Structures are given as C-alpha cells and as structure tokens.
Structure 1
Amino acid sequence: MVSPGSSIGVKSRVGTLGFFVKDSNQQIYLMTNEHVVSRHNSEYIHQPSDFDYIGRSLDDLASSLETLEELIFKDKQLNDFEKKLTMIESFNLKNVMNEEHGHSALTEDMEELKRLESVISVLKEVIVEEDGNN
C-alpha cells in the first residue's frame, strides 16, 4: 500500500504523493504536483522515486561492506576465486547506478562513489592474494 506523503517520481523528477480520489464512476486519480509526474505520458511513476532508490542503494552498500567482506572469507560456497570476484562485481556501483538518471542527481554522491569503489578494489586485491596463497 502506498500512503500519502510517500516519495514518488518519474526518471529525473521526485516529489510527494498527495492522495488518491475516486470519482462517481469509481475511476481512481492520483493527486500530486504536476512537476512530480509530468515528463512523457508513457513514463512509469516510481515509488520510491528513482533518486531515493539510488541514495538508498548507496547507503545500503556502504553499511554492508563489512558484512560483504565477512561473507567472502567465511562462506564455504564461495571458496573459488571466480565466484568471489563475481560476487564483488555484483556489488559494483556501476551496476547500482542507472545511466538514464541525470548527472545532477549523482553529483552529491560522487565522493561516496569513489570511496566505495576504492573499497571494492581493495577487496578484489585481497581475494587475488588469498587465492594465490591457497
């Protein structure tokens, strides 16, 4: 269920869902500001908005790096080198980011992106060293 006040938006726009109304023909309408949902008629409205999803993904990734490192070295199913690199690649920030989003939305997160990419790079090096010692 989506509640009034939730974050919604189309590709490069974000705003607040106002509320839903139903007319006498039982047709349901979304009430919000025009700039939140208007771009092209064929675009989907996302909830949460794509911008909120990107920020949340970066936060989730940052808070999960320690757990990710533990998984790499403790999970017996991830013993071989290729599986470990594949797991790290799946967390690569380029996969989290969607090129359809405007650059202005990502500008604030660039420092965080660089920091997380360097951590991922270090994890890859540790995996290579670990594999060489086995």
Structure 2
Amino acid sequence: MAMTNYPITLKPVYSSPVDGIPEGIQIPEGWRLSWHQAETLKALRDPAVDVVFNVAMTGDGKSLAAYLHLLQGEGSAIGLYPTNELARDQEAQIKDYIAKFKPIHNPRVARLSGAELEIYAESEGLGRVLDLLF
C-alpha cells in the first residue's frame, strides 16, 4: 500500500506583546514583554495575591515572567524543577538573564539536587534527607 504524504503546517505560538513597558520595569534594549509576563509580574507584586499560576506554552517566557521581579532588584525566589536536566537548563537561563538585565544586587543562583542534599545531610550528621522531611 502506498503512503500518502499529508503535510501539516503549524504556526508558531503567538503571545500578544504588552503595549509599552510596565511602570518600574527595566528591560534590555530590543526586548519586549508578552502580556502574560507583565500580568505575572503584576500579580507577584500584589500583596493580596498568594499564588500565581502562569500556564503559557513551553518556551513562551514563563520563567522570565516569574523571575522578572528579581531582575528588577526586588525580593527572592526558589525555583523547583522536576528533573536535574531541567534544573541545569534553568540555572543557565537565569544566569543569562542576570547577565542581560544587570540587576543592581547581583542575585545568587545555586542549584541543589536531592543527591547533593543527601551528601550535605550526611556530612553534617543530620541523617537521611527523607527522615528529615517526614
């Protein structure tokens, strides 16, 4: 049986850019923020908001949206990632953001895996990490 070639053309994901730069935001020249990034920053800055879920597509700038307040010299954050490879990728991405945004306080970036935490706990005589957590 002959195979039929059936081409499918997918358009890239489009996130609407925000009009202008939100007040108090400094971004590198030539950059634009997406609407979801500006709204994420707005929610993170709102003391009445406890939890923010940004459900934009993969590769659409969710991490930048989450860390944008740090890149403006505000607050602190902990990022949790489900795999060591994703944690390594995000560590490099965040360091790149720091190099490009040049925040005044030079944020510290440290990656900690379960294996590293286990070694630390053992070296400090704290027992097993799982025993500490439960």
TM-score scaled by length of structure 1: 0.29
Highest RCO, 1 vs 2 (Cα 8 Å, sep ≥ 6): 1
Larger helix fraction of residues: 1
Larger strand fraction of residues: 1
TM-score scaled by length of structure 2: 0.29
